[in-house]
Amino acid sequence: REWITANPGGAQPAWHPYPTSLRSINWCKAAPREAQILESLYEQAAYLYRHLETYLLGNHLLENARALIFASNFFGDQGEASRWANQGLEIYREQTSEQILPDGGHFERSPMYHALMLEGYLDVLNLLGPVEENENLSGHLVDAARRMTGFLVALTHPDGQFAQFNDTAYGEALSTSRLVAYAQEVLGDEQFPTSTSFEETGYYVYEDEDVYFVIDGGLIGPDYLPGHAHADIFSYELSIHQHRWIVDTGVSTYESGPERSHERGTAAHNTVMVDGADQAECWGSFRVARRFFPSGVSYKHAEDGASFQGRFDGYASLLGDDITHERRISIEAGGQAIQVEDTVAGRGQHCIESRIHLHPDVEVEAREADSIQLLRGEHLVEVTVDQGNLLPDTGWHASEFGMRKATLVLVIQVSKELPVTCSYVVRY
């Protein structure tokens, strides 16, 4: 009631299509019966129907569509409500092949937004009713939801939380376990198709009883919509013995400023920087100027381990000197070791830094010139530098919006004439 009084029809930013979509969905779920609230909800849906975010697209447009379907279902045959569902379903028909990639990942490459979009697909299917009775309407949505569920399962650490690539914070989307249970209820499936290689989205996963490893080897996002992208090519996350050890910095804010810039920058990720430059020119809150793509990416997965390889040529355009970065990672299941080798080629003298962001609960047990022993709970992990200088730094980990915890960052640094190689081994 306070919101209705304070925000007359069309007032901004309250009536912006995106918050109007989320608010309408939640009001429908709350099932109000008071006339004042019902009138406002109808007005909001009618406003949204006329102000779709077709200028932005992406996850916003899918949320617009979900809200229209919810409102139509809520109001039934009252007024123009039936038009809302037709418009919402048409958006899902058009956008599914664009936004849901063949491997099941959402094209903005954020596990958080992927989870939010999956909930939306399941909500819509839930509202449509039994699949067999609405196959013409829901068949393509069912296939997308199945693939999306399998993708999310693969991108989830043993602690039950998904990887924090790009703009991903916890507490905004349902957990993987809740979404899987919802998908099983709506779709009637017990298992969902999954993989270790998601080539279209660009994520690659290795998991055994001791370790969970996931690396980003793909595009930063759709070229026309990189708002949630980070400069994080070849960054990775690592869980050992069911706990996180190497983490993404995460995202604590969407407000434009130094924190937002840092969290999107290359220094906030577990990859290589050259001369302190970011891999992509992220600016503002949701903008990217020049951006570059990896090439030569390959991933091999076997029972005894896995190997990853990829090349990034963007620094040649950003810094000159024909600078290229090639990363090779090998995982030895039996040997309980992960080796990371980075080769930067080109001309001239440059400063190469490979960063490792540790979870806030990881402590230093002992340190030598070229190695460091780390402790979390009862488990020890050792990082040994084969080539490069091991330097400590500080950073933060943002698991949720508005929350930052101080953490240790390991920096393997080499500063000399190219080509140079820096490498390290994580033993667990």
- Asked whether 299 and 198 are in contact (CB, 8 A), the reply is no
Give the number of other Cβ atoms within 10 Å of residue 22's Cβ.
Answer: 13
For residue 358, give the DSSP letter: B
Which pLDDT score, from 0 to 100, does residue 146 have? Answer: 96
Return the bridge partners of 250, or none: 398
Dig out the tokens for 421 from the structure. Answer: 């190689």
Which pLDDT score, from 0 to 100, does residue 334 have? Answer: 77
What is the spatial distance between Cα 366 and Cα 205, in angstroms, rounded to a whole number?
Answer: 30
Which pLDDT score, from 0 to 100, does residue 142 have? Answer: 94
Q: Residues 259, 265, 270, 276: is their CA dihedral positive or negative?
A: negative
pLDDT digits (tens, 9 = 90+) for 278-336: 999 999 999 999 999 999 999 999 888 999 999 999 999 999 999 999 999 999 987 79
Residues near 368 by beta carbon (within 8 Å), at least 6 away in sequence? none
What is the spatial distance between Cα 69 and Cα 62, in angstroms, rounded to a whole number?
Answer: 11
In the predicted model, residues of the chain with pLDDT beneath 50 are none
- Which of 297, 326, 284 is closest to 219 using CA atoms? 297
- Asked whether 334 and 313 are in contact (CB, 8 A), the reply is no
Q: Is the peptide bond before 419 cis (omega within 30 degrees of 0)?
A: yes
Q: If you write DSSP's letter for every residue of 333-352 in order, what string do you get?
A: TTTTEEEEEEEEESSSEEEE
Task: Report the predicted TM-score, pTM, of the whole model to 2 decimal places.
Answer: 0.95
Which pLDDT score, from 0 to 100, does residue 133 have? Answer: 62
Which pLDDT score, from 0 to 100, does residue 137 have? Answer: 63
